[in-house]
């Protein structure tokens, strides 16, 4: 059975590693592109959000490469993500793409169902082998996240424009090639050396922006119009509020790995603005905005797909957070109509505003 999954930024690196570790044949969808978006938009409902359309495009392209089964995460709560997989399956059936569907529901709510689906995927492999494969996939996610964090710090300080992007591409290839845990340890050393070879001006003044919002649009560069790269080139050091390895630790490992940033801190910080779960990452959006303000960030950008209910709730609360904590926030709503040029114009205006506010603060304190 040839298995595929959504691209979603660099998630494919850890999923591919985990499945191949278990001798499962994998079909990685082609990198998400305009063609992917066109396919998804053509066949999905107009009011479906951008991630659903991009996932659908990924699956159609993977089917044409021979994929036979889809591996998807499930969900619960107000966010529509919980029934994404089933809607996509119905659409694919109508189009005569005959896929098997394997949905891994959140283990904290459906532990027995989760284990049954894992066994369906891994066949005769022992639980010991399955655990080793999951650990390997997690280590790959951590390695990719580490390279992304380094790139976010170096991009606004690089002396040669584009050198960080090139180094990141080479570092990612090293991590992707590693086939065992020992190989990964060696690859990680090489990847760090590659990233540290970027020549930086560490005295350059930068402003700091936190990215909050819906996880898919935060993690996937195609869906957010490469916002991290654009901000870096504008002299902005970015911190993303969610990384894949953190999400895995929170939702699959139940916080088993210690000394890793957790959603719990963000949820506590969201009080009293938002006192209950609203689906998706609505609580984290509010809480992380508060935390960025307390940690001296110059501004926050919220990313959300058009019609994303949890983030719409958060967006309605953010003005109060901005006033109370004196931090500037901009919301960017993303769908298939979003254009890179328009996004860049809005980012330039926001960065200009933050630079002026920073100059005014420094003038007062000088």
**327-344 confidence digits (pLDDT tens):** 999 999 999 999 999 999
Nearest partner of 238 among 360, 165, 345, 151, judged by Cα:
151
Position 110 scores a pLDDT of: 66
- Residue 116 structure tokens: 């049954």
Residues across the chain: 366
Pair 75, 108: CB distance under 8 Å: no
pLDDT band at residue 125 under the 50/70/90 scheme: confident
| In the predicted structure, residue 147 carries a pLDDT above the cut 80 | yes
Position 108 scores a pLDDT of: 66
Position 46 scores a pLDDT of: 87
| In the predicted structure, residue 4 carries a pLDDT above the cut 80 | yes
The CA distance from 340 to 317, in Å, is 27
Fold that domain 206-365 belongs to in CATH? Rossmann fold (3.40.50)
Residues 6+ apart with CB under 8 A from 315: 302, 304, 331
Return mean pLDDT, the chain.
Answer: 93
Q: Give pTM, 2 decimals.
A: 0.93
- Residue 318 structure tokens: 């953010």
| In the predicted structure, residue 146 carries a pLDDT above the cut 90 | yes
- Residue 64 structure tokens: 């044409």
Rounded mean pLDDT, 187-204: 97
The CA distance from 14 to 134, in Å, is 9
| In the predicted structure, residue 192 carries a pLDDT above the cut 80 | yes
- Residue 286 structure tokens: 């509010």
Position 78 scores a pLDDT of: 75
- How far CA 165 is from CA of 115, 161, 301, in Å, comes to 39, 9, 22
Position 109 scores a pLDDT of: 66
pLDDT band at residue 318 under the 50/70/90 scheme: very high
The CA distance from 19 to 130, in Å, is 9
| In the predicted structure, residue 92 carries a pLDDT above the cut 90 | yes
| In the predicted structure, residue 111 carries a pLDDT above the cut 80 | no
Q: Say whether 4 sits in a helix, a strand or coil.
A: strand
Rounded mean pLDDT, 300-329: 96
The CA distance from 29 to 65, in Å, is 8
Integer Rg of the chain from CA: 21
Report domain 3-125's class: alpha beta
Using one digit for the tens of pLDDT, what is the confidence trace for 20-65? 999 999 999 999 999 999 999 999 988 899 999 999 999 999 999 9
Q: Quick check: do 3-125 and 206-365 share a fold?
A: yes
- How many other CB atoms are found less than 10 A from the CB of residue 126? 9
Nearest partner of 217 among 226, 207, 205, judged by Cα:
226
- How many other CB atoms are found less than 10 A from the CB of residue 102? 17
Mean pLDDT lowest for which of 72-76, 92-96, 191-195, 227-231?
A: 72-76
Nearest partner of 92 among 43, 50, 47, judged by Cα:
43
pLDDT band at residue 83 under the 50/70/90 scheme: confident
Position 103 scores a pLDDT of: 86
Using one digit for the tens of pLDDT, what is the confidence trace for 238-275? 999 999 999 989 888 888 888 888 899 999 999 999 99
Q: Say whether 239 sits in a helix, a strand or coil.
A: strand
Tokens 């086939």 found at: 179
Sequence spans of domains, the chain: 3-125, 133-203, 206-365
């Amino acid at each position: 059975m040839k298995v595929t999954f959504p691209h979603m930024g660099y998630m494919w690196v850890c999923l591919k590693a985990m499945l191949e570790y278990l001798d499962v044949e994998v079909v990685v969808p082609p990198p998400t592109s305009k063609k992917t978006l066109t396919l998804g938009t053509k066949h999905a409902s107009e009011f479906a959000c951008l991630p659903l359309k991009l996932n659908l495009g990924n699956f159609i392209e993977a089917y044409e490469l021979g994929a036979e089964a889809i591996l998807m995460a499930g969900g619960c709560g107000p966010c529509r993500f919980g029934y994404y997989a089933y809607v996509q399956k119905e659409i694919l059936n109508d189009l005569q793409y005959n896929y098997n569907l394997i949905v891994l529901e959140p283990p904290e709510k459906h532990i027995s169902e989760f284990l049954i689906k894992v066994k369906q995927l891994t066949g005769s492999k022992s639980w010991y082998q399955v655990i080793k494969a999951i650990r390997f996939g997690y280590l790959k996610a951590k390695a990719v996240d580490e390279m992304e964090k380094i790139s976010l710090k170096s991009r606004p300080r690089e002396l040669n424009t584009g050198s960080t992007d090139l180094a990141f591409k080479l570092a990612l290839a090293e991590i992707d090639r590693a086939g065992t845990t020992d190989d990964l340890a060696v690859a990680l050393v090489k990847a760090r050396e590659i990233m540290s070879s970027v020549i930086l001006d560490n005295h350059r003044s930068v402003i700091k922006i936190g990215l909050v919002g819906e996880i898919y649009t935060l993690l996937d560069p195609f869906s957010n119009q490469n916002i991290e790269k654009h901000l870096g080139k504008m002299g902005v050091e970015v911190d993303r509020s969610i990384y894949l390895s953190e999400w895995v630790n929170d939702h699959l490992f139940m916080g088993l790995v210690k000394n890793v940033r957790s959603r719990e801190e963000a949820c506590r910080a969201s009080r009293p603005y938002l006192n209950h779960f609203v689906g998706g990452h609505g609580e984290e959006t509010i809480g992380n905005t508060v935390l960025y303000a307390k940690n001296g960030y110059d501004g926050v950008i919220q990313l959300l797909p058009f019609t994303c209910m949890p983030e719409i709730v958060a967006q309605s609360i953010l003005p109060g957070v901005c006033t109370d904590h004196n931090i500037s926030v901009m919301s960017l709503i993303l769908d298939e109509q979003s254009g890179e040029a328009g996004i860049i114009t809005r980012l330039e205006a926001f960065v200009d505003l933050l630079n002026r506010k920073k100059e005014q603060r420094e003038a007062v304190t000088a």
